[in-house]
Structure formats: structure tokens, C-alpha cells
Structure 1
Amino acid sequence: MLHVLRLAYTGSAEEAEPHVREHVDYLERHHASGAFLVSGQTAPPSDGGVIIARGDRAAVEEITGQDPFVRAGVGAYSVTTLDPGRVHPALAGLLDAG
């Protein structure tokens, strides 16, 4: 399964700033594990960020609770699960690996 993780800031940019380095480490860790396929800030960045994750929804929801922004109370996730019906051939192997 794929999941669209929408991170919305619940605090100000000033409140989030002390947690940015830990948040980047969090992203890097979950990209390295293969749980996160794509991540990035929205445009404009003040709206938050989006992550495309793969795996079991319960495990992905647990991962979102580990985000330093969430732990600090300056961010919250919404999770939308997608059961891919059609996949571009360039992505098929990547999605099968999850």
C-alpha cells in the first residue's frame, strides 16, 4: 500500500525552527529504510509538507508519531491510503519491493 502523509504546521515557523534538524534526520532515516519514497515541502512551504510512504498503514501511522515536529506539538499528519490500480512501469519494481 501507498500512503500520502500530509504534514500541516500547527505552530509558528519560530516554534518549528528548533526541530528542523531532527526532522531532516527523521526523513533521512525513513528514506534509507525504504518506508518513504518521496518527501518535500509544499509550495508555499508555510503550508507544510507531503511524504509518499509505503507499507502497512499502522506502521506508517506509528512512524508519523515519531516526527520531531509532532512530538514537539508544532505539526500534525493526515494519512490517506492509496491502493495503486495503475503504476508507471518505471515505478512498478520499486512498489513491489515494499
Structure 2
Amino acid sequence: MYVVSLTYKVPLEQVDAHIEGHIEWLKGAYAKGMFLASGRKVPRDGGVILAKGDRAALEDELTRDPFKQHDLADYTITEFVPVMVADGLEALQD
């Protein structure tokens, strides 16, 4: 499993100009079964994505994000193995 942390490099006005494309891209990655959860950071200086699957496939998918294509954010990928989960989240344990 992966935690993808996005950190905006530009003012929010520039981010917001591409938010609709970013949301459509997120929906596509969810439809592929790659993304498990996503949302904004608080304060709103970026976002977080929980993803599963192959790292190379994830890195490839991230290149399709309009935020990446327009150089609006930096991306950090952290891999982890969930060994304990809350009831109902057992599917997160590969």
C-alpha cells in the first residue's frame, strides 16, 4: 500500500484552475481499483492519496494527473505494509 502526499508549488488559484481535471483523473484511478481514499490536506497546501498495487503502475498513473502535467505539485510516495487495521478494514491487509 502507498501513501501519496501532494504538496502544492503554486498559489491555490492556479490549482483550482485544474481541479475539475484532477477530480476526473482521480475518478479514473478509483475505477481501475488503484486508489482507496483521497482528500485535501488541512491546511489546504496539498492532498493525500491512499493507493494499492504495483509501484511502477502508480508512478505511471501519477504522470496523468493534471496537477503533475502542469507542474502544480510535488509528489512523495511512501510504501507501507498495514499489519493492523480497524474492524471492517481487513481488505487493506494484502
TM-score using structure 2 length: 0.89
- Corresponding letter in the other structure for 1:58: A
User: Hey, what does 1:5 align to over in structure 2?
Assistant: 4
User: Hey, what does 2:73 align to over in structure 1?
Assistant: 75
**In the alignment, structure 1 residue 66 sits paired with structure 2 residue 64:** yes
Q: Larger helix proportion, structure 1 or 2?
A: 1
What displacement does 1:87 show?
A: 2.8
The SS at the match of 2:18 is helix
Deviations 1:28-79 (A, max 9, x none): 111122111000001112x110000000111111111111001001112100
User: Hey, what does 2:48 align to over in structure 1?
Assistant: 50
The SS at the match of 1:80 is strand
What displacement does 1:93 show?
A: 3.0
What displacement does 1:82 show?
A: 0.6
In the alignment, the residues of structure 2 paired with residue 5 and residue 28 of structure 1 have an alpha-carbon distance, to the nearest angstrom, of: 16
Report percent identity of matched pairs.
38
Any gaps of 5 or more consecutive residues in structure 1?
Answer: none
User: Hey, what does 2:32 align to over in structure 1?
Assistant: 33
TM-score using structure 1 length: 0.86
Number of corresponding residues? 94
What displacement does 1:5 show?
A: 0.3
